[in-house]
Structure 1
Amino acid sequence: MTSEPTPVPPPGCPAHGSGQRVPMYTPEFAADPHSYYAYMRHHGPTAPVELAPGVEATLVTDYAAALDLLQNPGDFRKDARRWRDLNEGRISPDSPVLPLLAHRPNCMFSDGAEHLRLRQAVTESFARVSSHQLSESVDRVARYLISQFRARGSADLLNDYAKQLPLFVFNELFGCPAEIGDRVMFGISGIFDGINAEKANEVLAQAVSELVALKRTRPGDDVTSWLMQHPARLNDVEMSHQLVLLLGAGAEPLRNLIANTLHLLLTNDRYAQNGLVEEALDATLWHNPPMSNYAPHYPARDMEFAGQKLAAGDLVLVSLQAANATSAGSNRAHLAWSAGPHACPSKEPARLITLAAIEHLFNELPDVELAVPEESLTWRPGPFNRALAQLPARFTPAAPPREARPQPSRTSQRPTPDAPAKGRGGLWSSFLTWLRT
């Protein structure tokens, strides 16, 4: 009986021995992550990786080991102030991965009683959004966005639709007035797209602070006001950081989930021809989850985990995508929503938004198809996301419905280095103008 040959590192991977870390930020990794995961798994349930130049971590690639970690808050903590490499100055302050790993006073980066307090406030406030309200919001936004490009007969379904829709929906749910909403959209897009990220972060922080101040004096029927009124009694700093977390989670992961599911529907006839949108969504969550590698944790003490020695304060991430590939579980047993006490609190709203957005698009544009060969599509480099760069599509041009009457918009443009100034219209204010006409 012969043993399986040791897999060689994928093309572009400098890891030519067990002591080398596998880089997860290269275009080669983005193009074919499954080859990298197969190489990593040959060496065990965990692998040494590099998230960005100089940022080292241990990546869990096995389903059972991932569940062990995610469901063990006693041994693995979320508070990033435990991160030893950061505390000892080995992480550059301008590292591109720091904004998604550094500590923030929100429910994602907290443990124990503090996590429970913040998590309950977030979960119970967002639970007040009804499915009917959410569906109506998606319908309004979808009609608006499609009205901007349907007469052209072509669109980039990522940047013109999947990227924009969650931001519009969440701005509406969180009660953002026009000029604050424009800057929230600029900030969120800039942070995740890497376009003038430092400026974008400043704009977002200021806009969210203004939203908190506004709702303190003029509460409304929206998630921001409900979060503020929750018995957890969040202060202004806590409010701002929960809002940034929720708005961010409603932007990048959701846009990738919508786009990745559309990608499957446009490239696999079995799903598209039979109208199996929900099945395509589940397949995407298994094989191309929007956050493919994340769930940062830190060992509370020196330990051995899955055959690997870990020191207190080591950065340990879970490859949700790689772990899924090692499971033979039921259709909803994937780890795309994570697991344990920090599992995604809004998976049902996320499913509803994604399904409604896709079904609306196919109802409006029934002959939509991919406009380029599938193999020409590219995936954005980065250690955390499974994210397309573009999704060009074509369809039969049609005039917008009479009731749409779209106003001039910049929805197909990327954010510019200058944030929308007060009183100057942007994407969100264009949508609000369209609603009122």
Structure 2
Amino acid sequence: MSGWPKHALAAAGHPDPYPYYRELARDGWRRDEALGLWLAASRRAVDAVMESPACRVRPAREPVPAGIAGAPLGEAFGRWLRMSEGDAHARLRTAVGEGLASLPCDEAELTARRLARAFLATGAVDGLRLDALVDFLPVATLASLLGWPEAALAEAAAGIARVCGALAVDADAVARERGAEACRILLADLAALPAEGWLKRWRAEFAGLDAAVLCANLLGILFQSRDAGAGLLSAGIAWRCLGEWNHADPGEWRARLMLDPVLHHTRRFVAEDIELAGQRLKAGDQVLVLLAAAAHDPAAPEQAMDFGRGRHACPGEALALATARGALQALEQPRPNWRALGGGVTFDGPPNIRMRRFGAGERA
């Protein structure tokens, strides 16, 4: 295993984690005592965990992380679709899925391209500029579609970044306080947006549900769009730095994501004793679901796994791909030196996201 990732939580930031993932996929299951986790790595094991109602997105005894429980951010977190189970989850999933489906992808792509062009027009296209675009655009595109004023998009993106920081595993009291304040402001902004365009359709889908549930879930979608969308866009840019490719084709994106995924893992908490894909699990166990390993399982059909599987599959795939396509179209216009931009790519992001950074050398 020389030269392989130190462990599964470090794999997304490794220069080439895929031989390691293929080895794990052949095992199917592995126990990592140092991490205190089961690793589900084969396609069979991953599918079994993602489809099992016994495997929850949160521990039964801690539906909201202890560090934010009782705060407005904790209240919003507890209402998020992807953190919900049971009948309430099913109803929310239907509303959110139909809300996302109602958005024409062409509109999202055009919005992303327009915002990216305006962003890039204010400075040279270098590595630092690419990193800033990656951090800004996924949230800004969605916020713009919801009706956010253009002048406030940068602050909305920065606010979501603070929410992400507050929910990180290693968040300290300062990060949680900054995230709580950002959450308060963002929820107030969402509640004040005029019911027009896409937001009007969202409110129709959530008719009969508490308005606070709608705002919380829109905040949750903005939150989800940030790191996953940034990882997706940074991957598309990195692939373009290696040579031309058809980034207008969603099928080409999926083919590349199968080989070089962006979302590498997610976590599940076992609520009851159960056997899944030949492995006995006990209530209280934690499972690291290695989606990237499953995509590389030599015994399974080839399929990208970035947008999840089963009951908690991400309904925002079309929106995320449209945003990334629009950004790359905008980036082609100034005809940057792609080879130079890709010459110093590093990986630095959340443990589950393969996030490229282009300006590390420029920062030094």
TM-score by length of 1: 0.69
- Aligned to 1:343, which of 292, 313, 319? 313
Report how many residues are paired: 350
- Aligned to 1:304, which of 275, 280, 284? 275
Residue pairs, 1:129-140, within 5 angstroms? 129-140=103-114
Residue pairs, 1:346-385, within 5 angstroms? 346-362=316-332, 364-371=333-340, 374=343, 376-380=344-348, 382-385=350-353
Does residue 140 of structure 2 align to residue 168 of structure 1? yes
How far off is 1:260 after superposition?
0.7
Aligned-residue sequence identity (percent) comes to: 20
Contact preservation (8 Å) 1:156, 1:390: yes
- Aligned to 2:195, which of 219, 224, 234? 219
Structure 1 or 2, whichever has the larger Rg, is 1
How far off is 1:329 after superposition?
6.2
Match for residue 46 of structure 1? 29
Distance 1:147 1:180 in 2: 18
Match for residue 123 of structure 1? 97
Structure with the bigger RCO (C-alpha within 8 Å, sep 6+) is: 2
Contact preservation (8 Å) 2:159, 2:186: no
Residue pairs, 1:26-425, within 5 angstroms? 30-38=14-22, 40-41=24-25, 44-49=27-32, 56-73=36-53, 75-78=54-57, 80-82=58-60, 93=67, 104-149=78-123, 152=124, 154-156=126-128, 158-177=130-149, 181-192=153-164, 197-215=175-193, 218-223=194-199, 225-267=200-242, 269=243, 272=244, 275=246, 278=249, 281-294=253-266, 296-327=267-298, 333-362=303-332, 364-371=333-340, 374=343, 376-380=344-348, 382-390=350-358
SS of the residue corresponding to residue 82 of structure 1 reads coil
- Residue deviations 1:66-101 (CA, integer Å, cap 9, x gap): 12222333x3333x1416xx69xxx9849xxxx99x
Distance 1:347 1:373 in 2: 26
* RMSD of aligned alpha carbons: 3.6
> Which amino acid letter does the alignment assign opposite residue 325 of structure 1?
H
Match for residue 24 of structure 1? 9
SS of the residue corresponding to residue 104 of structure 1 reads helix
How far off is 1:23 after superposition?
5.8
How far off is 1:208 after superposition?
2.5
Contact preservation (8 Å) 1:324, 1:334: yes
Consecutive unaligned residues of structure 1, counting only runs of 5 or more, are 1-7, 14-21, 394-411, 414-437
Distance 2:271 2:175 in 1: 32
Consecutive unaligned residues of structure 2, counting only runs of 5 or more, are none
Contact preservation (8 Å) 2:240, 2:338: no
Distance 1:211 1:348 in 2: 25
Distance 1:40 1:69 in 2: 16
Greater fraction helix: 2
